[in-house]
Structure 1
């Protein structure tokens, strides 16, 4: 017999709070002797009862530290509400849960807001890299696609590539050919 069925057979429902505390509902309707038996059993088997009730902890890796406690509280509240609505049957589909308890949708929406606020924005568009042929960039072939300047140099070797002198000035002492195009 599982720990939860022991409690259920005596008319007691066990729940867990967001803080991880065990709540026993239905003790008031029991005789003193049975109530004492249930309370003693719950104290001795608290860890096993909690592990059967408690959801896995939420993944906080993407949550900003300032929102972690609120997210944890919402997580356990949503879990408790869903468990309450399902009567312990966690296989009910999410739309059915929301239809029976709209508050669950509100909690989930707030959790998503926290998740979205913790997600970093998309990086800004990077500048174009120099040395890209102009026909690929639809720009004037005489200007650098990154900085728009027209100061070019290349190594004094056959088939060397023209390089933007503003973005990548040549190293001192390097044998280069410079070209400045004046527009």
Structure 2
């Protein structure tokens, strides 16, 4: 099967969304929690989280173009500069999926989709209590992407919360935390650890 640029452009929008959202493989599935200046909370599903650096500890995600219906997450982040990133687990995949509906700003996805707001260490943005691995983030920079009107939102980790069982020999074990991945718009995958290799040095690369 071969799709040319024209073939892709000629696809109906839903088919194109499903295919192009899947070609990168399994992506991290996260819920981003925010709150506005009036105390209204928001919870939204994102699959674009990416590591940008470890010192400082920076993560980025892609925010779609803002409209009346879409963009409450970024709007809230701009108001107070704080947000949370929460891993999704098998027990609540369905609830997490439905946070992607275009709810009115005055409707909290926490309440509507059955999640519990949790506030940790004086952090004003809400964490998802049901999540085992979560991060409190401080907004650092927004970089516009003119090609499609999206923005790369960059934040720094100020709090990292995870269970003791989530650490294995100095690494976070995503199989143990039961974190799930997503492909396309609506397909979810469990994570299984299949191998671990040492930090790569040129003189230690084996012959293949």
Q: Which has the larger radius of gyration?
A: 1
Higher relative contact order (Cα pairs below 8 Å, separated by 6+ residues)? 2
Q: Which has the higher helix share?
A: 1
- TM-score, length-normalised on structure 1? 0.21
- TM-score, length-normalised on structure 2? 0.19
